[in-house]
């Protein structure tokens, strides 16, 4: 369970987030929606440790993780993907996923340089595990390709595979359907459900309403940096304030 | 990984056979320098090519290794092997401490900071006259010995240096193909994604900086003990730039590339001697052409060139 408690973020005179509180349940698929400039990406950047909030706390399973850098959050099982995909473009697809297993291995510079036996065992385990996650995301056949040469949709899947390799308790996806065609979006919905089925909570910022209403258990609606509403997809669709502020726009 | 092994064996055979053909010739002494430069280029490549962090001060670490090992053994009578190890560990520790503030910087700022670092060392080599002998240099450095067998003379130096060079190649290849090597490349490609994947970017950068300084220091000590004499001019800013050039010409992020880059940039000035003062012009031209047409370095550029030529030939036939 991830508790977001009274998060406020000011950039100079601008208040990007104003006292936003929300609880993300274990094993839930949670959607964060809102018009452009509502503060969704800011909220994501705070939760994932890239920004430091002006005030407010984030509590993961009873542990205060506010203000921890991303590399520490990774060890607590919090991981994210990026709207514009941040792959390691010069590495192979398989090696990208192997980096996701960084926290699952511990050989240091000396052990790696001298090929210590335990390091070789570890490398085999990393390789096997990385292949499993590629398979989970359905991109096994791309293992030896350069990540930089992948088409956008496959790159998105690779980014998710790499994040899953951390075996997170919660994964944050920043607009995972952006740039995908309708068929890829359907596959994505299926993948998101399978991720949840393996016990990982999923949080997505998304503009694709069809996808959000289809997969999410709960939805948080932000508008102008404030929480406008929260509830099940049905409640959100019937909420007049949401309809006025957001759905009515389209 | 197996292909790397084959390359390594081929290289080892060449390294062993070379002295048979060149024994006693002037080229032997040049090959000693190729080995030292290769160690330095590989050390810098770990930082520059893999982790993507520039250093324009590596000649300084090379110089520290040479001077400290030389002074410890010549002035204070410390066993040269021990002096080399103490020096390398101290230089690595220094790099580790200095690395924390310096490697926070990025791009041009990091280049400037490391440049400053190298210049500080250079000034110390020149000005600490009592210790270093100042601009006129420091002589009387004893050779490394095993029992009563001293590493002096070209052929023995060659064997010593290339044993260390091959060791550096092997260990660096191992490192490159490990979780650490992948984390370094990850930092190079996307620092934010590397952090999200749990890589402690700040610590790893500093660690690799220290490792790079360690190897450079060993190369410096080897240089001092084989030459018996060191002077500040060998460790100035020009040499730092030359090291960066070796890495770029050979190819960023490839261990063998650094070896090739070091070989070319060490042999080239010898071949260009006929041009006398104009050699620097040709040298500059090579650099410009490399960055324009083979930004991946020779190791990637040559195969790419063949790949482009071969299919067209097939079409013609």
Axis-axis angle for helices B179-189, A93-100 (nearest 10): 100
Residue entry with tokens 């709960």: A218
Which residues of chain A does B175 touch, with a Cβ-Cβ cutoff of 8 Å?
Answer: 109, 112-113
pLDDT tens for B151-188 read: 888 888 999 999 999 999 999 999 999 999 999 999 99
Is residue B312 over pLDDT 50? yes
pLDDT score, position B283: 67
Are B180 and A108 contacting, i.e. CB atoms less than 8 angstroms apart?
Answer: yes
Confidence bin at B280 (pLDDT 50/70/90): low
Q: What's residue B300's pLDDT?
A: 84
Tell me the percentage of chain B whose pLDDT exceeds 90: 67
- Ramachandran quadrant class, B287 (left: phi over 0; alpha: psi -120 to 50; beta: rest): alpha
The confidence score (pLDDT) of residue A250 equals 44
B296 touches chain A (CB under 8 A): no
Chain A residue whose CA is closest to B201: A71
Q: Give the span between the Cα atoms of B116 and B125, in whole angstroms.
A: 14
The answer to whether B175 contacts A101, with C-beta atoms less than 8 Å apart, is no
Chains A–B, number of C-beta pairs less than 8 Å apart:
100
Identify whether the C-beta of residue A40 lies closer than 8 Å to the C-beta of residue A34.
Answer: yes
- Mean pLDDT lowest for which of B66-70, B111-115, B201-205, B271-275? B271-275
Output the average pLDDT for chain B. 90
Q: Which of A71, A58, A62 is nearest to A100 (CA)?
A: A71
Neighboring chain B residues of A99 at a CB cutoff of 8 Å: 182-183, 186, 194, 197, 199
Q: What is the pLDDT of residue B26?
A: 79
Task: Report, in this order, helix, strand and coil percent for chain A, each rounded to 5.
Answer: 45, 25, 30
Report how far apart, in Å, the C-alpha atoms of A174 and of each of A48, A171, A249, B54 are: 11, 10, 22, 32
Return the higher-pLDDT residue of B85 and B18: B85
Inter-residue contact B46 to B211 (CB < 8 Å)? yes
Give the pair of three-digit tokens for residue B45.
Answer: 């490549």
B57 Cα distance to chain centroid: 12
Tell me whether B313 touches chain A (CB under 8 Å). no
**How many Cβ atoms sit within 10 Å of the Cβ of residue B171?**
20
C-alpha distance from B170 to closest chain A C-alpha (Å): 8
Q: Are B244 and B54 in contact (CB under 8 A)?
A: yes
- Pairwise CB contact (< 8 Å): B197 & A74: yes
Residue B309 DSSP symbol = H
The answer to whether the Cβ–Cβ distance between A109 and B181 falls below 8 Å is: no
CA distance B159 to B152: 10
The three-state (H, E, C) secondary structure of B55-89, written as one string:
CCCHHHHHHHHHHHHHHHHHCCCCCHHHHHHHHHH
Q: What is the pLDDT of residue B21?
A: 78
Are B261 and B254 a contacting pair, CB within 8 Å? Answer: no
Other beta carbons less than 10 A from residue B143's beta carbon: 19
| B193: CB partners within 8 A, 6+ apart | A82, A86, A87, A88, B186
SS3 content of chain B, % helix, strand, coil (to 5): 80, 5, 15
Residue B277 CB-density burial (10 A; 0-12 exposed, 13-18 middle, 19+ buried): exposed
Residue B84's pLDDT is 97
Q: Reading across the β-sheet that carries A2-11, which strands appear in turn? A: A14-24, A2-11, A55-60, A63-64
**Strand (E) or helix (H) holding A194:** helix A182-197
Tell me which chain A residues have a C-beta less than 8 angstroms from the C-beta of B181: 112
Chain A residues within an 8 Å CB radius of B179: 98, 101-102, 105, 107, 112, 122-123, 126
Q: A100 contacts in B (CB within 8 Å)?
A: 197
Q: What's the confidence (pLDDT) of residue B5?
A: 80
B144 in A contact zone (CB under 8 Å): no
Long-range Cβ pairs for the range B256-260 (8 Å, 24+): B256/B7, B256/B11, B256/B169, B256/B299, B257/B45, B257/B49, B257/B297, B257/B298, B257/B299, B257/B300, B258/B38, B258/B41, B258/B42, B258/B44, B258/B45, B258/B49, B259/B11, B259/B38, B259/B41, B259/B42, B259/B165, B259/B169, B260/B298, B260/B299
Q: Which residue has the higher pLDDT, B28 or B70?
A: B70
Q: Which residue from A230, A236, A234, A192 is spatially nearest to A211, judged by alpha carbons? A: A192
Q: Check residue B315 and give its pLDDT.
A: 46
Show the low-confidence residues of chain A (pLDDT under 70): 246-250
Is the Cβ pair A123, B186 closer than 8 Å? no
B193: closest CA of chain A, how far (Å):
6
What is the structure's pLDDT at B316?
42
B178: chain A residues, CB-CB within 8 Å: 107, 112-113, 119, 123
Burial group, residue B252, by CB count within 10 angstroms (0-12, 13-18, 19+): buried
Question: Chain B: residue nearest A111 by CA?
Answer: B175
Note whether A109 contacts B208, CB cutoff 8 Å: yes
Tell whether B175 lies on the interface with A, counting CB pairs under 8 A: yes
The 8-class DSSP code of residue A92 comes to B
Which pLDDT does position A246 carry in this prediction?
67
Cβ distance A89 to B200 less than 8 Å, yes or no, reads: no
- Nearest one of B202, B237, B216, B210 to B103, comparing CA atoms: B202
Cβ pair A71:B175 closer than 8 A: no
> Virtual CA dihedral for B237, B42, B247, A91, nearest 10 degrees?
-140
For residue A90, the chain B residues in CB contact (below 8 A) are 185, 188-189, 253
Share of chain B above pLDDT 70, in %: 93
Say how far apart CA B127 and CA B124 lie, in whole Å: 5
pLDDT at res. B44: 97
Predicted confidence band of residue B306 (pLDDT cuts 50, 70, 90) = confident
């Amino acid at each position: 369970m991830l508790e977001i408690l009274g998060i406020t973020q000011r950039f100079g005179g601008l208040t990007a987030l104003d006292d936003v509180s929300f609880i993300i349940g274990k094993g839930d698929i949670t959607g964060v929606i809102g018009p452009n400039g509502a503060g969704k990406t800011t909220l994501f950047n705070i939760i994932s440790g890239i920004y430091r909030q002006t005030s407010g706390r984030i509590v993961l399973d009873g542990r205060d993780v506010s203000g921890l850098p991303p590399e520490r959050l990774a060890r607590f099982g919090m991981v994210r993907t990026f709207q514009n995909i941040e792959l390691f473009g010069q590495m192979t697809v398989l090696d990208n996923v192997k980096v996701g297993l960084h926290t699952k291995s511990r050989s240091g510079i000396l052990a790696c340089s001298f090929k210590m036996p335990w390091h070789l065992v570890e490398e085999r385990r990393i390789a096997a595990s990385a292949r499993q996650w590629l398979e989970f995301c359905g991109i096994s056949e791309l293992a030896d390709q350069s990540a930089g040469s992948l088409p956008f949709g496959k790159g998105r899947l690779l980014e998710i595979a790499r994040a899953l390799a951390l075996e997170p308790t919660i994964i944050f996806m920043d607009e995972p359907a952006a740039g995908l065609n309708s068929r890829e979006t359907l596959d994505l919905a299926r993948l998101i459900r399978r991720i949840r089925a393996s016990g990982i909570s999923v949080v997505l910022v998304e503009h694709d309403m069809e996808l959000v209403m289809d997969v999410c258990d709960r939805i948080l609606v932000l508008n102008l940096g404030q929480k406008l509403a929260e509830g099940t997809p049905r409640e959100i669709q019937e909420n007049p304030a949401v309809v006025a502020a957001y759905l009515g726009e389209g | 990984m197996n292909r790397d092994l084959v390359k390594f064996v081929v290289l080892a055979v060449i390294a062993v056979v070379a002295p048979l053909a060149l024994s006693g010739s002037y080229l032997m002494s040049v090959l000693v320098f190729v080995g030292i430069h290769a160690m330095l280029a590989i050390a810098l490549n770990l930082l520059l090519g893999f982790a993507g962090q520039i250093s324009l001060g590596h000649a300084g670490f090379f110089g520290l290794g040479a001077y400290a090992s030389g002074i410890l053994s010549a002035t204070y009578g410390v066993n040269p092997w021990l002096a080399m190890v103490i020096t390398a560990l101290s230089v690595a520790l220094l790099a580790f401490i200095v690395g924390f503030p310096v490697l926070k910087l990025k791009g041009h700022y990091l280049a400037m900071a490391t440049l400053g670092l190298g210049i500080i060392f250079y000034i110390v080599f020149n000005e600490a006259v009592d210790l270093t002998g100042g601009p006129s240099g420091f002589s009387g450095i004893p050779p490394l010995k095993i029992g009563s067998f001293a590493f002096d003379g070209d052929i023995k130096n060659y064997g010593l240096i290339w044993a260390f060079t091959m060791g550096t190649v092997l260990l660096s290849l191992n490192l490159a193909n490990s979780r650490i090597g992948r984390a370094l490349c990850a930092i190079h490609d996307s620092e934010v994604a590397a952090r999200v994947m749990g890589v402690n970017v700040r610590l790893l950068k500093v660690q690799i900086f220290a490792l790079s300084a360690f190897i450079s220091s060993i190369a410096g000590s080897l240089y001092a003990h084989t030459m018996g004499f060191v002077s500040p001019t060998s460790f100035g800013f020009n040499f730092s730039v030359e090291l960066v050039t070796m890495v770029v010409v050979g190819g960023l992020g490839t261990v063998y590339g650094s070896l090739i880059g070091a070989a070319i940039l060490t042999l080239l000035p010898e071949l260009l001697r006929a041009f006398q003062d104009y050699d620097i012009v040709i040298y500059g031209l090579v650099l410009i052409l490399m960055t324009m047409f083979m930004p991946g370095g020779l190791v990637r550029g040559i195969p790419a060139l063949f790949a482009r030529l071969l299919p067209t030939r097939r079409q013609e036939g």
